[in-house]
A and B are shown apart, each in its own frame.
Chain A
């Protein structure tokens, strides 16, 4: 255990604080929020200072620093305290980029990573199909080689941000005769290719929060062969890297949400008394703080393992399960403490934080399901982590 509390880190923290005192994003930066210019400007500024894409090589558009655990922790803490996003929480940076770093060709890395980190290109993840959810490897969307192209036909569903994305990382079946896990390939597909149709689905959270959810139809969509990641038939293995990153990226920021909850409880009053004065609600807040802190320090432990190239074993497999439930429970307390006003929505008069907490509650529920349901996570923990007998598959 060495958290290297020395002057160098104090200086780094001061530097981050100075940056945050001077800079804010010009507008909302999430996918689907406002126009792209605020997002790209903010992310580019972050990269220039090394607060985003910090360890991605310069040649691929990153800042090129050595990985350092405490720097990461300090950046997260300071950005959380300032309530400012440290980068873009979206599928491109969190899933595609790690996959390309692990499996992409040099040309693919140079071409895609920089613009993705700067938010110029938004990605969607084309995995799930109507008949292939938890049992993802049974997917049927096909791709057939034809000259220098693959020709894709089929349907994806539950595709977040497909209506905003310029690109899709797509799982397709290329080897129809092969066993189900061996016949899959991983393609990078421009969403403006002829033959792609995106049909939005309305979600339970309506018009508030991150709620883009779509069906995507592919008819004779031509994708250049150079957009294949890895080899034909290796897509399952490659997708699993992506899923691992999805699961560990969900580590993000329980502490940030907790701080927001604590701010709410300090500022809201009932009968003229701050909500924090209620011992019952305060106890729940503290209970959640312990859980948020345990996930924060667990993330430090996981990061240490990854910096050393060690496998965290079962301790790594539990992250998604725990974080998603924790976020749902934090939203639940926020809604409870708001009492009568907690149910307000759709920008009703007196609604708090533009409906954030109701939306966050529903969004966290979505995350409990998306990227492998809680039940599937438990299967994985029990089978891979604890060595219990496998389910039929």
Chain B
């Protein structure tokens, strides 16, 4: 009986954090922000060697078949280092859906995902929010329409596109009739894009994929929450370190109680959110009835505390926190962006209410 990370998980955390500190210092993130897509394939193949890409791929397809909690540990480390990567879509959401769907195509792609050679994006925004007339439909065997804010799609080889709540299509990004345009957000470290389909032929269409879609979204919510929480962790670490070193009025500013209290408030929000994240991630594999509600709660909760931590950490830094040079804004913006993906706090809370019978079903 144990509510804690295991030895293996602590080792995983340490390994990934160590690797990222070494290979993706913030200077590297600065370089990637100007790329057409920030997701660097060389880095991704190095992460594949660490087992990161196949963390959610079943062992039968050469993955490590680990739990969502293990994936959340990696996501938190990626957020903490502000590392751009297709982890969310390709290592968490797509494998969750494909493993649930099964079949020869899915298994072949899972093998590719685990090796890092196949990167899979996810276009599912329209399942919960249709804007600008978006939506992808079948026209005979071909796909037509557009999908907004698709995740990790620019540099991907394949995308999973939700046609409706029960149907997922898999399309190669280099197929005829597929156009991908990066939609830049405030956050330069995450890839979001518009996909336009003009008669593209999918590799496969999965019917009866409702459960797989829901699981995919819930896994994504937990991983995105973990990523944003990793950003919070870094922003707190940076604020505390700065408060110990910056002097004003002949004292380090961390000796001023107002500054101390800002730091205390941040960590007081952070730690229980981490406990909630562990539980939500664990529940995803172990307690499937509770999992959807917890996935909604953890992402909306981290979005709320994240906004506050992002603001307060910046304030602790004073003017330099507002500069591009200080780099703090990479985390600020990554937290800000997460709030707009996979639901948004209000709609996630409404879904949590519906799931436990506290709100009328939509």
Contact = CB atoms under 8 A, between A and B. Distances in A.
Nearest to B237: A386
B4 A301 contact: yes
Contact of A294 (B1, B257, B276): B276
B273 A294 contact: yes
Contacts of A49: none
Contact of A388 (B3, B240, B273): B240
A107 interface: no
Contact of A1 (B4, B260, B267, B304): B4
Of residues B1, B5, B263, which shows the largest number of chain A Cβ atoms within 10 Å of its Cβ?
B1
Interface string B240-266: 100110000001101101011101110
B275 A298 contact: yes
Interface stretch (A184-192, A202-210, A281-289, A341-349): A281-289
A286 B3 contact: no
Interface string A240-283: 00000000000000000000001000100000000011010011
A290 interface: yes
A300 B5 CA distance: 12
B271 A314 contact: yes
Chain A interface residue count: which class? 35 or more
A121 B269 CA distance: 38
Interface residues of B, number: 50
Interface string A1-19: 1111100000000000000
A304 B1 CA distance: 8
A383 B260 contact: yes
B223 interface: no
B298 interface: yes
Given A69-B1, A382-B264, A387-B244, A282 B359 contact: yes
B69 interface: yes
A379 B260 contact: yes
A322 interface: yes
Contacts of B4: 1, 301, 304-305, 308
B358 A283 contact: no
Contacts of A96: none
Contacts of A294: 272-273, 275-276, 301
Contacts of A3: 1-3, 282, 286-287
B297 A318 contact: no
A297 interface: yes
Given A1-B69, A69-B1, A388-B240, A282 B353 contact: yes
A378 B298 contact: no
Contacts of A381: 263-264, 267-268
A90 interface: no
Name, among A297, A300, A318, A385, the residue most crowded by chain B CB atoms within 10 Å (CB to CB).
A297
Contacts of A315: 271, 274-275
A391 interface: yes
Given A1-B69, A69-B2, A391 B279 contact: no
Interface in A370-393: 375, 377-379, 381-383, 385-389, 391
Given A283-B346, A315-B271, A276 B358 contact: yes
Interface in B43-96: 69
A167 interface: no
A68 interface: yes
Contacts of A308: 4
Nearest to A308: B4
A282 B350 contact: yes
A239 interface: no
The 10 closest A-B pairs by CB, nearest first: A286-B349, A294-B276, A382-B260, A378-B264, A298-B275, A290-B301, A381-B264, A318-B268, A294-B272, A300-B3
Given A297-B3, A381-B264, 20 more contacts: A1-B69, A1-B278, A69-B3, A276-B358, A282-B349, A285-B358, A289-B297, A290-B300, A293-B276, A293-B294, A294-B301, A297-B279, A298-B271, A300-B3, A301-B275, A379-B257, A382-B263, A386-B240, A388-B254, A388-B260
10 contacts: A4-B1, A5-B286, A68-B1, A276-B359, A290-B276, A297-B275, A383-B260, A386-B264, A388-B255, A389-B252
